[in-house]
C-alpha cells in the first residue's frame, strides 16, 4: 500500500518548527541564533493560509548548529538556509506537494580559505535538465573567493524533497550522532515531528519508486524523474 501525502496546516507546521528548534536547542545541537531563525519562520507561518503556506530562512541568518571539527582539526558550522519552501495540498499522492522547494546545507569553515561543502536541494526549473526534485553539490558560496566554488553543476541526483525539519535530522544524526541516539532518535515528540514531515515529503517519491519498480513496461526511475517528463505535471 502506498502512503498518502498529508499536508499539515500552516499552524501545525508553525508549531512543528518551534518544537523542532526547542528540542535541538535543549539537546545542545542548535545555536540560540539557529533557534531564533526557525522561530521567526514559525511566527510568519501563523499568518499564512491553511492549505497553501510557505517559509524562508535566509542563509545570512540561518539555522546554525554548534561547531564541529573535521579530520584535520578545522572547525566548521553546519548551516541550513531555505530560499523558499512553498507547500500546496496535492491532488493525489503521486503529485508533488511543493510549489517551490529550495533548501541548502552548508558546512561553513571558520578558515575562509577552506572550501565549504554545500548541498543544494531544489526543484528543476522549466526546461532544466535533471530530475524534477534533485540534490546537487556546490553552488555559489565563497564570494569573494569565488575560485573555491565548485564549477560543475552535475550530477543532479534524484532525491525526495526534505523540508527543514528532515534536514535538521540529517545534521543531528550525522554530526551529533551520540546526542541524536541518546536524546532524539526514540523521543516521542521528535518522532512525531519527523513523521509529520515525512508524510509531506516522501509519499509522492514512494509512489514513483513503486510505479517504476512494480509495473512492467513503466519508465525506469531516473527517466520517470527527469524534468521533461513532468512538463504537464508541475505543481
- Measure the CA–CA gap between 19 and 17, rounded to whole angstroms: 5
Least distance to other proteins from the beta carbon of 41, Å?
A: 8
For 62, how many CA atoms within 13 A lie in the half-sphere containing its CB?
21
Contact criterion met (CB below 8 Å) for 123 and 102: yes
Least distance to other proteins from the beta carbon of 35, Å?
A: 7
Residue 114 or 132: the one with the smaller Cβ distance to other proteins is 114
Q: Which residues bind other proteins (CB under 8 A)?
A: 11, 14-15, 18, 21-22, 25-26, 31-33, 35-37, 39-48, 56-61, 67
Residue 40 or 94: the one with the smaller Cβ distance to other proteins is 40
At CA 118, angle to CA 78 and CA 125, rounded to 5? Answer: 130
Least distance to other proteins from the beta carbon of 43, Å?
A: 3
Residue 47 or 125: the one with the smaller Cβ distance to other proteins is 47
Least distance to other proteins from the beta carbon of 134, Å?
A: 23
DSSP structural state of residue 124:
P
Contact criterion met (CB below 8 Å) for 33 and 67: no
Amino acid at each position: 500500500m502506498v502512503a498518502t501525502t498529508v499536508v499539515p496546516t500552516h499552524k501545525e507546521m508553525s508549531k512543528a518548527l518551534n518544537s523542532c528548534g526547542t528540542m535541538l536547542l535543549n539537546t545542545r545541537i542548535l545555536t540560540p541564533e539557529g533557534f531564533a531563525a526557525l522561530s521567526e519562520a514559525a511566527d510568519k507561518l501563523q499568518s499564512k493560509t491553511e492549505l497553501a503556506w510557505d517559509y524562508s530562512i535566509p542563509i545570512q541568518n540561518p539555522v546554525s548548529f554548534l561547531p564541529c571539527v573535521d579530520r584535520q582539526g578545522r572547525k566548521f558550522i553546519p548551516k541550513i538556509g531555505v530560499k523558499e519552501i512553498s507547500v500546496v495540498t496535492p491532488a493525489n499522492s503521486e503529485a508533488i506537494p511543493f510549489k517551490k522547494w529550495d533548501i541548502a546545507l552548508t558546512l561553513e569553515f571558520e578558515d575562509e580559505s577552506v572550501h565549504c561543502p554545500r548541498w543544494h536541494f531544489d526543484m528543476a526549473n522549466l526546461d532544466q535538465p535533471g530530475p524534477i526534485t534533485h540534490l546537487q553539490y556546490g553552488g555559489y558560496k565563497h564570494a569573494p573567493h569565488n575560485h573555491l566554488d565548485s564549477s560543475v553543476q552535475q550530477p543532479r541526483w534524484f532525491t525526495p524533497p526534505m523540508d527543514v525539519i528532515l534536514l535538521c535530522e540529517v545534521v543531528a544524526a550525522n554530526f551529533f550522532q551520540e546526542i541524536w541516539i541518546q536524546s532524539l532518535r526514540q523521543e516521542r515528540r521528535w518522532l512525531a515531528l519527523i513523521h509529520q514531515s515525512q508524510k509531506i515529503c516522501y509519499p509522492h517519491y514512494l509512489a514513483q519508486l513503486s510505479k517504476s519498480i512494480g509495473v512492467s513496461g513503466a519508465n525506469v526511475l531516473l527517466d520517470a524523474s527527469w524534468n521533461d517528463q513532468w512538463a504537464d505535471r508541475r505543481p
